[in-house]
Amino acid sequence: MNTNLRAFLQTVAVSELTARLLAISDNGYNVLVGSTPDHPRLFNSYRDHPRQLVELRDKRGDPIIGQDGRPLKSTAAGRYQIKRDIFDAYKVRLKLTDFSPASQDAIAIQLIRECRALDDIEAGRVAVAIDKCRSRWASLPGAGYGQRENTLDELALAFRRSGGVIA
Protein backbone atom coordinates (compact mmCIF):
# COMPACT_ATOMS: atom_id res chain seq x y z
CA MET A 1 0.00 0.00 0.00
CA ASN A 2 1.27 3.48 -0.91
CA THR A 3 2.60 5.47 2.10
CA ASN A 4 0.25 8.36 1.41
CA LEU A 5 -2.75 6.03 1.18
CA ARG A 6 -1.82 4.48 4.52
CA ALA A 7 -1.51 8.01 5.99
CA PHE A 8 -4.87 9.04 4.49
CA LEU A 9 -6.60 6.01 6.00
CA GLN A 10 -5.10 6.92 9.37
CA THR A 11 -6.25 10.52 8.88
CA VAL A 12 -9.83 9.40 8.22
CA ALA A 13 -9.70 7.20 11.33
CA VAL A 14 -8.36 10.06 13.46
CA SER A 15 -11.01 12.37 12.01
CA GLU A 16 -13.84 9.94 12.69
CA LEU A 17 -12.69 8.61 16.07
CA THR A 18 -9.85 10.77 17.50
CA ALA A 19 -6.30 9.61 18.18
CA ARG A 20 -7.17 8.94 21.84
CA LEU A 21 -9.98 6.56 20.91
CA LEU A 22 -7.74 4.77 18.41
CA ALA A 23 -5.18 4.28 21.18
CA ILE A 24 -7.59 2.62 23.62
CA SER A 25 -9.28 0.34 21.10
CA ASP A 26 -8.07 -2.13 18.49
CA ASN A 27 -6.76 0.84 16.48
CA GLY A 28 -10.38 1.83 15.92
CA TYR A 29 -11.44 -1.35 14.18
CA ASN A 30 -13.78 -2.37 17.03
CA VAL A 31 -15.39 1.01 17.85
CA LEU A 32 -19.12 1.69 17.74
CA VAL A 33 -20.55 5.06 16.73
CA GLY A 34 -21.04 7.42 19.65
CA SER A 35 -17.88 6.28 21.43
CA THR A 36 -15.62 8.74 23.15
CA PRO A 37 -12.22 8.20 24.76
CA ASP A 38 -13.90 8.60 28.16
CA HIS A 39 -16.80 6.31 27.26
CA PRO A 40 -15.64 3.84 24.59
CA ARG A 41 -18.24 1.47 23.15
CA LEU A 42 -16.42 -1.48 21.63
CA PHE A 43 -17.64 -4.64 19.94
CA ASN A 44 -16.05 -8.06 20.40
CA SER A 45 -16.28 -9.96 17.12
CA TYR A 46 -15.21 -9.22 13.56
CA ARG A 47 -17.34 -12.09 12.23
CA ASP A 48 -19.94 -9.58 10.98
CA HIS A 49 -20.85 -5.91 11.25
CA PRO A 50 -22.11 -5.32 14.82
CA ARG A 51 -25.47 -4.02 13.48
CA GLN A 52 -26.24 -1.87 16.52
CA LEU A 53 -28.46 1.18 16.03
CA VAL A 54 -27.14 3.94 18.30
CA GLU A 55 -28.77 7.28 19.10
CA LEU A 56 -26.10 9.98 18.75
CA ARG A 57 -25.54 12.35 21.67
CA ASP A 58 -23.54 15.52 22.17
CA LYS A 59 -20.91 16.13 24.87
CA ARG A 60 -23.62 16.99 27.42
CA GLY A 61 -25.44 13.73 26.69
CA ASP A 62 -28.33 15.35 24.85
CA PRO A 63 -29.59 13.74 21.63
CA ILE A 64 -28.22 15.24 18.42
CA ILE A 65 -31.22 16.36 16.38
CA GLY A 66 -31.21 15.82 12.62
CA GLN A 67 -32.59 18.11 9.93
CA ASP A 68 -35.91 16.29 10.17
CA GLY A 69 -36.25 17.25 13.85
CA ARG A 70 -35.72 13.71 15.10
CA PRO A 71 -32.73 12.36 17.04
CA LEU A 72 -29.91 11.14 14.78
CA LYS A 73 -29.30 7.41 14.88
CA SER A 74 -26.59 5.38 13.18
CA THR A 75 -25.25 1.88 12.76
CA ALA A 76 -21.72 3.14 11.99
CA ALA A 77 -18.92 0.98 13.34
CA GLY A 78 -15.23 0.28 12.95
CA ARG A 79 -12.18 2.34 12.13
CA TYR A 80 -13.93 4.21 9.30
CA GLN A 81 -17.41 4.25 10.87
CA ILE A 82 -18.99 2.11 8.18
CA LYS A 83 -22.77 1.83 8.34
CA ARG A 84 -24.50 -1.55 8.23
CA ASP A 85 -26.08 -1.02 4.80
CA ILE A 86 -22.77 0.11 3.30
CA PHE A 87 -21.06 -2.96 4.73
CA ASP A 88 -23.76 -5.27 3.37
CA ALA A 89 -23.41 -3.81 -0.13
CA TYR A 90 -19.61 -3.87 -0.20
CA LYS A 91 -19.41 -7.29 1.42
CA VAL A 92 -21.00 -8.68 -1.73
CA ARG A 93 -19.26 -6.36 -4.17
CA LEU A 94 -15.76 -6.93 -2.74
CA LYS A 95 -16.39 -10.58 -1.81
CA LEU A 96 -15.63 -10.00 1.87
CA THR A 97 -16.23 -12.70 4.45
CA ASP A 98 -16.25 -10.63 7.64
CA PHE A 99 -15.87 -7.18 9.22
CA SER A 100 -12.18 -7.69 9.99
CA PRO A 101 -9.62 -4.88 9.84
CA ALA A 102 -8.64 -6.01 6.32
CA SER A 103 -12.28 -5.87 5.20
CA GLN A 104 -12.78 -2.42 6.74
CA ASP A 105 -9.64 -1.17 4.97
CA ALA A 106 -10.84 -2.64 1.67
CA ILE A 107 -14.19 -0.83 1.96
CA ALA A 108 -12.52 2.48 2.86
CA ILE A 109 -10.15 2.20 -0.09
CA GLN A 110 -13.07 1.38 -2.40
CA LEU A 111 -14.97 4.43 -1.14
CA ILE A 112 -11.89 6.58 -1.80
CA ARG A 113 -11.57 5.06 -5.27
CA GLU A 114 -15.24 5.82 -6.01
CA CYS A 115 -14.66 9.44 -4.95
CA ARG A 116 -11.87 9.53 -7.54
CA ALA A 117 -9.43 10.63 -4.84
CA LEU A 118 -6.86 7.82 -5.00
CA ASP A 119 -4.54 9.60 -7.46
CA ASP A 120 -4.76 12.80 -5.40
CA ILE A 121 -3.80 10.94 -2.24
CA GLU A 122 -0.86 9.19 -3.87
CA ALA A 123 0.33 12.54 -5.30
CA GLY A 124 0.04 14.27 -1.92
CA ARG A 125 -2.91 16.48 -2.83
CA VAL A 126 -4.53 15.81 0.53
CA ALA A 127 -6.81 18.89 0.56
CA VAL A 128 -8.26 17.90 -2.81
CA ALA A 129 -8.71 14.29 -1.65
CA ILE A 130 -10.43 15.35 1.57
CA ASP A 131 -12.80 17.55 -0.39
CA LYS A 132 -13.60 14.70 -2.79
CA CYS A 133 -14.25 12.29 0.11
CA ARG A 134 -16.31 14.58 2.33
CA SER A 135 -19.58 12.95 1.28
CA ARG A 136 -18.35 9.62 2.67
CA TRP A 137 -17.21 10.68 6.16
CA ALA A 138 -19.26 13.08 8.32
CA SER A 139 -16.20 14.38 10.18
CA LEU A 140 -14.49 15.77 7.06
CA PRO A 141 -14.76 19.53 6.49
CA GLY A 142 -17.80 20.48 4.45
CA ALA A 143 -19.52 17.10 4.89
CA GLY A 144 -22.69 18.81 6.06
CA TYR A 145 -24.18 15.97 8.11
CA GLY A 146 -24.72 18.12 11.20
CA GLN A 147 -22.01 16.34 13.14
CA ARG A 148 -18.62 17.54 14.32
CA GLU A 149 -16.35 18.37 11.38
CA ASN A 150 -12.59 18.69 11.64
CA THR A 151 -10.69 21.48 9.93
CA LEU A 152 -8.46 20.98 6.93
CA ASP A 153 -5.48 22.16 9.02
CA GLU A 154 -6.17 19.50 11.69
CA LEU A 155 -6.42 16.80 9.06
CA ALA A 156 -3.31 17.92 7.17
CA LEU A 157 -1.40 17.71 10.46
CA ALA A 158 -2.79 14.21 11.10
CA PHE A 159 -1.79 13.20 7.57
CA ARG A 160 1.79 14.44 8.09
CA ARG A 161 2.01 12.80 11.54
CA SER A 162 0.97 9.53 9.87
CA GLY A 163 3.87 9.71 7.44
CA GLY A 164 2.04 11.33 4.55
CA VAL A 165 3.79 13.79 2.25
CA ILE A 166 1.79 16.79 1.05
CA ALA A 167 2.61 18.14 -2.40
Q: Which residues lie across from 73 on neighbouring strands? A: 55
Q: Of residues 16, 114, 122, 149, which has the active-site annotation?
A: 16
The CA angle 51-16-155, to the nearest 5 degrees, is 160
Whether 165 contacts 47, CB under 8 Å:
no
Of residues 78, 88, 87, 81, the one with CA closest to residue 145: 81
114 catalytic per annotation: no
Of residues 14, 8, 15, the one with CA closest to residue 147: 15
Distances (CA, A) of 88 to 25, 42, 64, 107: 24, 20, 26, 11
Q: Which residues are designated catalytic?
A: 16
